[in-house]
Structure formats: C-alpha cells, structure tokens
Amino acid sequence: MNSKKLTWGIFVLYFLSLTWIIIFKFQLSFQNLPQFRNINLIPFGSSTIINGTIDFSEIIWNALAFIPLGILVCVLGQRKSFIKIVIPIFLTSLFYETIQYVFAIGGSDITDLIANTLGGIIGIGVFFILLKIFKEKTHAIVNIVSLIAAILFIILIALLFLANV
C-alpha cells in the first residue's frame, strides 16, 4: 500500500477518534451526552480551577490528545512552514470547541484551545526529533506506530462496546 495513502487513512481514523473523544465524550449513546452550553474566554479561568487551584490534568489530557495531530500534519505536509502546520491544528481545535458550543454538548473553553494547540506544537517537535533520528525512515516509522495505536484503540472501543451491551 502507498505510504501516503496509509498516512491519510490513519489521519482519518485519528480524526474520527478525536471527534468521539471531544464531541461524544467517550459515550456510546447520544442520550448520555452532557446537555449544557458554556463558554469561557478567560485562559486558565474558572473552568480549570477546582478548590482554588488549577486542575492541570484536563489541560494535560487535552495537549496529549493533539500531539498525534501535530505529528500527522507534519508527515502529510513535510515541506510546509511552521505556521502553516500550526494553523490547521489551531483551526481543528477551534472547530471542536465551536461544535461543542453550537450543539450544547459541553463547555467551550479558551484554555482547551490553548492546550490543544500546544499539544499539536509538541507533536511538531516530536516529528522533527524523529526526523533528525530516523531521517528518510520517519514517515514509515510514524505509520507503523500510528497503525499499532489505531489497532489498540479499535480494540479498546470494541471492549467498551461489548461491556456496555
């Protein structure tokens, strides 16, 4: 199979997974989705403060979820400038935050937008480190690791589905 086609397939699967995580909140039923609309435009504001301190766990999970996006965008557009790689990551995060607000299925938060974009930037950094180490084999290595992760994620979804039937 063509390496670029495999990368695009992995990208689509990742995007669907990200949608399930962010929009559908790991739910297997539309009935279990939260029904509220909230927007926070103050970075690291009330939505991240619990008992008077910032809850970094949600920020970290958001960043981690977008690291693969940074890597995949780099693989698919290797010759682009840094800003041309960051813009689609930012817009993807903005898209998800907007969808949550429009459909009243969660809080839209500037902190999430920042954390998601930061995660994508970390992914860009990871890609460039891999590129320095593996050079022309980077694309193949990213595809192999991504394919393994995708298979494990599909198994996890299947197990969740079976546990909830």
Of 107, 68, 115, 53, the residue nearest 90 (C-alpha):
115
How far, in Å, CA of 112 to CA of 110, rounded? Answer: 5
Parallel, antiparallel or unpaired: strands 105-109 and 36-40: parallel
Average pLDDT over residues 116-141: 95
How far, in Å, CA of 30 to CA of 51, rounded? Answer: 31
The residue extents of the domains of the chain are 3-27+38-163
pTM of the model: 0.86
Confidence at residue 10, expressed as pLDDT on a 0 to 100 scale: 93
How far, in Å, CA of 23 to CA of 73, rounded? Answer: 21
Is 65 a residue whose pLDDT tops 80?
Answer: yes
